[in-house]
Amino acid sequence: MKTTRLSGILLHPTSLPGGAGIGDLGREAYAFVDFLAETRQSLWQVLPVGPTGYGDSPYQSFSAFAGNPMLISLDSLVSDGLLAESDLKDAKRLPQDRVDYGPVIEFKNACLWKAFDAFEGNATDAQRAELSRFNEQSSSWLDDYALFRSIKDGSDGAEWTKWDKHLRVREDKALYFWGQNHTREIAAHKFFQYVFFRQWLHLAHYANEKGIRIIGDVPIFVAHDSADVWAHPKLFHLDAKGNPKKVAGVPPDYFSETGQLWGNPLYRWDVMEKDGYSWWMERLRATLQLVDIIRLDHFRGFERYWAVPGTEQTAVKGKWEHGPGPKFFEAVQSSLGNVPIIAEDLGFITPEVEHLRDQFGFPGMRVLQFAFGNDDQADSFKPYNFPHGCVVYTGTHDNDTTVGWLTSSGAGDSTRSGEEVSKERDFVLKYLGTDGHEIHWDMIRLSLASVARVAITPMQDLLGLGSDARMNVPARETGNWSWRFLSDQVTPETRSRLGELTQVYGRDPRRTETSHTEPDGSNGKPQ
């Protein structure tokens, strides 16, 4: 196995500066790639990039295959001649330091529809042919997605279980007549996907040319209100009306005394197994067209998952049920080859989960914020116990920022007592030999110096930001996913310091000819 040491930054594109009230795939995204290359990073990790639904969470998407049109760069559409500069004038009224999703969605949707009308009226034959090729190549998921979105739009945004019965159960005649009467809306949603994929792939190619590979996030579960569940109801545990019989979550844990009730419908793994998990294979194949490495979220759910009755209001009354286990990953290898996967193996991890992870050579995760508590698993997160092949984070999108973790009052969002928090803080300062005034740099240094093969730093920690910059509080239904940074927050000192530490701790990809080694030891994207 290759031993190349790598590092990178965790930043979702919505958090980029610029854009129309939300980070996008335009020039600031390219500037961020340049920043990564300048500071000797080799990885950019993002959250799921699908179209967001309930709570604006990237983990509750309308599709496991589609891209989020809110990430489309409007400036690029101006350059393409599909929008005028004057169309963007109202963007200046949107906040630049956070995402105010309601106004952003309203403004960007209006602009995207203008761009669609301009394309319909003025596109060249070559452009129309390119769109046609995209539609044909993506038809296995795009047709259902565009139809789903058009019906949802025509139903005032209602969940698909509340649509007209004939559309809800996908009667052929009902779908045909809807399609005939809403050709423009369906074509528009396909166009939005065409633009997203075109912009994303151009950015990804630019990143690869700069020596930056993208780590994408694949949530194990999909949203109930999604094209995936509507189009493939037999793959999920649903009742006759399409409502989940049982849903996903986790039992009481570090973040919540009542557990986390995610609400995602659970898979009928026995049904999926009969056709070789073909829906999953298509999903992973589509993801690998966009990213270089997959972070497989909630990996433990492939061994066992927490199943909660669909009528419950908390995750307390659930039970562990068996996942597909090794049969699933054998199917992945048979269909897709040696896929570069990072296993998100956080939470209640059993020896069986560890065996499944190690059986297929997937690197697991270590989070430094979990290393200094008094619980049973803290020792496995201490750097001196890291396995060499793991991926270390100072924190993830679900954690407080490192500065917030150390300095916020009380136990915050966790189930720790005030006494436990105090002991944890005293221990981390003693462990690091610091007074904590630069705790973010102390933890970044610890991460980069560790034996972990890959070290990932959230952008908030690099900038030394407090709890106000947190991305997500698990189990909190609103107020998440809105953080953004401003360009002037990235100082020359930050750039210099990150680059120097990366070089000092042997993570500069330019120092070795094997700089393109994947975290699992494979090289390059599966084809």
Domains of the chain, first to last: 6-511 (3.20.20.80)
Number of Cβ atoms within 10 Å of the Cβ of 427? 15
pLDDT at 281 over 90: yes
- The pairing of strands 391-393 and 454-458 is parallel
Q: What's the N-to-C CA distance of the chain in angstroms?
A: 21
Give CA 386 to chain center in angstroms.
25
pLDDT confidence bin for 409, thresholds 50/70/90: low
pLDDT tens-digit profile of 225-269?
A: 999 999 999 999 999 999 999 999 998 876 678 888 999 999 999
pLDDT tens-digit profile of 333-349?
A: 999 999 999 999 998 89
Euclidean distance between CA atoms 93 and 70, whole angstroms:
17
pLDDT tens-digit profile of 435-453?
A: 999 999 999 999 999 999 9
pLDDT of residue 518: 53
pLDDT of residue 347: 85
**Average pLDDT of every residue of the chain:** 93
pLDDT at 414 over 90: no
Catalytic residues: 297, 344, 398
What percentage of residues in the chain have a pLDDT greater than 70?
94
Mean pLDDT (whole number) for 455-473: 97
pLDDT of residue 413: 59
Mean pLDDT (whole number) for 322-335: 98
The upper half-sphere exposure of residue 97, i.e. CA atoms within 13 Å in the direction of its Cβ, equals 5
pLDDT of residue 523: 37
pLDDT at 105 over 70: yes
The model carries a pTM of 0.94
The three-state secondary structure class of 295 is strand
pLDDT at 21 over 90: yes
pLDDT at 526 over 70: no
pLDDT at 357 over 80: yes
**Cβ within 8 Å of residue 256, ≥6 positions away:** 315, 415, 474, 475
Question: Which two tokens mark 271?
Answer: 């049904």
Among 341-345, 509-513, 516-520, 523-527, name the one with the lowest average pLDDT.
523-527
Whole-angstrom CA distances from 275 to 222, 323, 407, 526 are 19, 16, 52, 21
Amino acid, single-letter form, for residue 391: V
pLDDT at 513 over 50: no
pLDDT tens-digit profile of 110-164?
A: 999 999 999 999 999 999 999 999 999 999 999 999 999 999 999 999 999 999 9
pLDDT at 168 over 70: yes
**Cβ within 8 Å of residue 300, ≥6 positions away:** 345, 347, 348, 349, 350, 353
pLDDT of residue 516: 43
pLDDT of residue 517: 46
pLDDT tens-digit profile of 35-92?
A: 999 999 999 999 999 999 889 999 999 999 999 999 999 999 999 999 999 999 999 9
pLDDT of residue 160: 98
pLDDT at 201 over 70: yes
pLDDT confidence bin for 515, thresholds 50/70/90: very low
pLDDT tens-digit profile of 358-406?
A: 999 999 999 999 999 877 778 999 999 999 999 999 999 999 999 999 9
pLDDT at 283 over 70: yes
Q: Are 14 and 99 in contact (CB under 8 A)?
A: yes
Question: Which two tokens mark 223?
Answer: 């949203």
Euclidean distance between CA atoms 381 and 390, whole angstroms:
11
Number of Cβ atoms within 10 Å of the Cβ of 342? 25
Mean pLDDT (whole number) for 454-471: 97
Euclidean distance between CA atoms 411 and 227, whole angstroms:
39
pLDDT of residue 252: 82
